[in-house]
Structure 1
Amino acid sequence: MKATKIDMQRWERRMHYEFFKGCDNPFFGITANVDVTHLVQQTKEHQHSFFLASLYLSLKAANEIKEFRYRIKDDEVYEVEETFGGSTILAEDNTFRFAYFYLRDNYLDFEREGKASIEKYSQINELLPTEGLTQDGINPCLHYSTIPWISFTGFNHARAYKIGDSVPKIVFGKYFKEGDRLKMPLSVEIHHSLADGYHVGLYFERFQELLDTYKLV
């Protein structure tokens, strides 16, 4: 997978990068509800995985926003060509494993490969936190988790600051009924040197558009 180094002298975020990179916690997070009424109806009608459908549309939205594809390595910023999903999955002993999900041109291919990935990694008795690094050793994935037991209103992640973590993290919560609509909590954390609230807002907006209009089949 290709990663292109950003020309820091011409980068519009250079001063923001310098401003935030020295923070003890350079990440910021936003949690809000998205409307999943249309997606739930589709997954139930056609017997698809709600988790994989949510993940697919989220990846499509995130890949359209370059700030979600920025990564930091050795105090340099890179833009990866495409990002994919690395998500926690529940194992039989109620611990978790990491599985990986790659964007495809249509949902049916993505779901088929996604189910195979869940089956594969759930049987591995070790944690494999990275896959698909670029030739420069950059982690192009997005970190995902699902908390289907809680309709949370906020979320904080464990972070590995000492190794220069710059991967955005996205969490889906338990969807709930609000009037005649179904809402799902969505948490996004992203490195403030690489993105602002405006860019997270673009992601929420695009994700909601896909949730409202995308046809799985």
Structure 2
Amino acid sequence: MNPLNTTTTPIDPATWSRREYFYYFTKMMPTGFTVSADLDVTVTKDWLAARDLKFNPAYLYLVSRVITEMPEFRVSRTDDGELMHYEVLHPSYSVMHTDHTISSLWTAYDANFAQFYQNYLADQAQYGDLHTPMAKAPQSANTYMIGSIPWTHFTSYTPLPFTPLNTFFPVIQAGKFINESDHWQMPLSVTIHHAVADGYQVSQFFTKLQNAFDHPEIWLVD
């Protein structure tokens, strides 16, 4: 396993294109928003099934990889208020136990899908049966919330944080697949702070992720 990537790049407020928007949406009108859309996961689902690979780690990997192309999704700040971009974000997700309780795990992102897949399986083996809210203690600040509700094909999902934010990472949630005309549709919700992203950036995220689901032979193969 490679060392955990916690690399950051400072944001220069004098040249940052979102400087005024960040101030407005954090100080004058604190605002976040959620966008939900159906994504077609047919090609990736079939590609994984043909290779006897699990869907969930591929979902976590593809979202995390697309996030590496979205600097707006990787904004954080220090305790002193200095803003920065993380190079990558590591997915933090829930696992379901047989008694329907959940535990939070996270897996180190790796640009190599095969390595990430092994990281995921190792985390499941070591921590997956621990019945506690946070089965694997966090080791860095650059984890983001991502999950799935595989029992419900929702049209909207909105998490409600109750504490002040030091990071401005997205919260991403998938829902139950449904089959329509031989195509598997998966609802996906993206919630993000308006200080760092607008509807355009979230739309770009959906476009990039759909492209990834359409071409697993490119995105999941080195």
Same fold (TM over 0.5): yes
Cα distance, 1:48–1:193 mapped onto 2, change above 3 Å:
same
Is 1:113 matched up with 2:119?
Answer: yes
Task: Write the distance in 2 (CA, Å) between the matches of 1:151 and 1:23.
Answer: 36
1:97 is aligned to 103
Task: Write the distance in 2 (CA, Å) between the matches of 1:110 and 1:208.
Answer: 20
Is 1:29 matched up with 2:49?
Answer: no
Cα distance, 1:78–1:37 mapped onto 2, change above 3 Å:
same
1:60 is aligned to 65
1:23 Cα deviation after fit: 6.3
Task: Write the distance in 2 (CA, Å) between the matches of 1:94 and 1:213.
Answer: 34
- Paired residues, number: 212
Percent sequence identity is: 28
Partners of 1:159 and 1:165 within 8 A in 2: no
Correspondence for 1:145 among 136, 147, 150: 147
1:204 Cα deviation after fit: 0.8
1:108 Cα deviation after fit: 2.3
1:115 Cα deviation after fit: 1.5
| Structure 2 stretches lacking a partner, 5+ long | 1-5
Correspondence for 1:211 among 203, 210, 213: 213
1:136 is aligned to none
- Measured on the aligned residues, the alpha-carbon RMSD in Å equals 2.0
Correspondence for 1:38 among 16, 32, 43: 43
* Mapping 1:1-217, distance limit 5 Å: 1-22=6-27, 26-74=31-79, 75-128=81-134, 131-133=138-140, 139-215=141-217, 216=220
Q: TM-score scaled to structure 1, two decimals?
A: 0.89
1:24 Cα deviation after fit: 7.2
1:160 Cα deviation after fit: 3.2
C-alpha offsets along residues 86-126 of structure 1, whole Å, 9 cap, x if unaligned? Answer: 11111233111111122223322221210221232223343
Partners of 2:170 and 2:193 within 8 A in 1: yes
**Aligned residue identity for 2:82:** E
| Structure 1 stretches lacking a partner, 5+ long | 134-138
Q: TM-score scaled to structure 2, two decimals?
A: 0.87
1:147 Cα deviation after fit: 0.4
Q: For 1:61, what is the secondary structure of its paired residue? A: helix
Task: Write the distance in 1 (CA, Å) between the matches of 2:30 and 2:127.
Answer: 31
Task: Write the distance in 1 (CA, Å) between the matches of 2:171 and 2:126.
Answer: 23
